[in-house]
Amino acid sequence: MNILVGWEASPETETLELMLNVGGHQATIFSEAGQFNSALQKTDWDVVLLSLSFPTLDTSLKIFESTKAAIPGIPIVGAAKSDDITHLIQFVSQGLHSHVIRDTDGNFIMLLISMLEAAHENVRALRAQVVAERLSEEVDSVRKLQESVIPDDLPESNGYKVVGRYDPSEIRVDGQNMVVMAGGDYYDSFALDDSRIVMLVGDASGHGVKACMSIMTMHTLIRMIRNNRYANTADFVNAVNDRLCQSDIVQDEGGFITIIYCMLDTEANSIEWTCAGHPLPLLQNLETNEVVILGDEDQIGLPLAVMEGWDYECISAEIPPNSRLLIYTDGLEEAFPPSGDALLDQFGVKGIIEAMQESGNLPLADALGHIFQRSSDITEGTGRHDDTSVMMIERQ
- Cβ-Cβ contacts under 8 Å for 36 (sequence gap 6 or more): 4, 6, 30, 54, 55, 63
Share of the chain above pLDDT 90, in %: 58
DSSP 279: P
CATH assignment of 149-395, given 3.60.40.10, 3.10.20.340, 3.30.56.10, 3.40.50.620? 3.60.40.10
Nearest CA among 219, 207, 221, 216 for reference residue 255:
207
Nearest CA among 394, 260, 383, 392 for reference residue 331:
383
Q: List helix spans (H) across the chain.
A: 12-20, 33-39, 60-70, 85-93, 109-147, 208-225, 233-244, 248-251, 348-358, 364-377
* pLDDT of 173 strictly over 70: no
Top CATH class of 2-128 equals: alpha beta
Q: What is the pLDDT of residue 139?
A: 66
**Domain edges within the chain:** 2-128, 149-395
Q: List helix spans (H) across 148-207.
A: none
User: Sign of torsion, CA 376 378 382 385?
Assistant: negative
Q: What is the pLDDT of residue 243?
A: 94
* pLDDT of 270 strictly over 80: yes
Please tell me the least confidently modeled range out of 134-138, 176-180, 327-331.
Answer: 176-180
* pLDDT of 191 strictly over 70: yes
pLDDT bucket at 249, cuts 50 / 70 / 90: confident
pLDDT bucket at 116, cuts 50 / 70 / 90: very high
Residue count of the chain: 396
* pLDDT of 143 strictly over 70: no
Please tell me the least confidently modeled range out of 17-31, 141-155, 200-214, 319-333.
Answer: 141-155
Quote the mean pLDDT of the chain.
89
* pLDDT of 381 strictly over 90: no
Of 381 and 275, the one with more pLDDT: 275
Mean pLDDT on 62-90: 90
